[in-house]
Structure 1
Amino acid sequence: MSTLFERIGGEPAVEAAVDKLYLRLMANEKVSHFFAGIDMNRQREHLASFLTYAFGGKTGYDGRSMRQAHQRLVEHLGLTDTHFDALIENIVATLRELNVPEDLITEVAQITESVRGEVLNH
């Protein structure tokens, strides 16, 4: 069976989704403040690399853990479930805009949901 990474369209699809997602997030007043002062090119690279791994496109991920990467956001900027919900909503909207089939969007949402506890340091 092919990986989600392959079924979604591989590297070009992941990169397009990441670019569109960050445009949405930067325009979303619920979450845009989390990206103030962030090198967005570097941020895009990190997310694309993580998603490639999470979707089965590579076997390892050498970035920080979800807990480590988001700890400052939780402790100093108040990252909560409300913000994580907004992330999922924006991911779904982005993938729909890119005409990704609903079954793949559901799979992506489930993968995203599976890291909620780590991201929010629960």
Structure 2
Amino acid sequence: MSIYDGIGGAESVRAAVESFYTRVLGDSRLAGFFADVDISRLKAHQRAFIAAALGGPEVYAGRDMAAAHAGLGLTDAHFDAVVAHLADTLTELSVPGDRIAEIAAALAPLREQIVSAPGLSG
């Protein structure tokens, strides 16, 4: 069974994305990065990305992670904060800890594509 199916499929991904962005947009370290972003569009991209990354049937057709985050000056601290918000979101949605660890492992390789200022604190 894929991680996607194990967490409840599309309905769970949708709930996770909604809760996740509530957390991220409420975080003063991260909110500024979204000031001029169409959040509804971003959520749709995020749902497709997460679903595809977790083995779901959706196809992610957005930009690659490096292109999507180029020029933002994201640091390891920013990446870690986002991952923490995702883990908290999944915990809130009763996703089992072993599934959260699988998801974190699946997303960890994206750090090198997203972080452009690794030595700086956020």
**Do they fold alike, i.e. is TM over 0.5?**
yes
Distance in 1, matches of 2:61 and 2:39, equals 19
- Equivalent in 71, 91, 111 of residue 116 of structure 1: 111
CA shift for structure 1 position 99? 0.9
Please show how residues 42-61 of structure 1 align to structure 2 within 5 Å.
Answer: 42-58=41-57, 60-61=59-60
Q: Which amino acid aligns with 1:32?
A: A
CA shift for structure 1 position 61? 2.6
- 1:49/1:28 Cα in 2 relative to 1: closer, same or farther (>3 Å)? same
Report percent identity of matched pairs: 38
TM-score normalised by the chain length of structure 1: 0.90
RMSD between aligned residues: 1.4
CA shift for structure 1 position 116? 0.7
- 1:31-61 deviation per Cα after TM superposition (whole angstroms, max 9, x unaligned): 1111111110000000000011100113743
- 1:100 corresponds to 2:99: no
Which residue is 1:26 aligned to? 25
CA shift for structure 1 position 112? 1.8
For structure 2, list consecutive stretches of 5 or more residues without a partner in the other structure.
Answer: none
Distance in 1, matches of 2:60 and 2:40, equals 18
Q: Which amino acid aligns with 1:79?
A: L
Distance in 2, matches of 1:42 and 1:60, equals 15
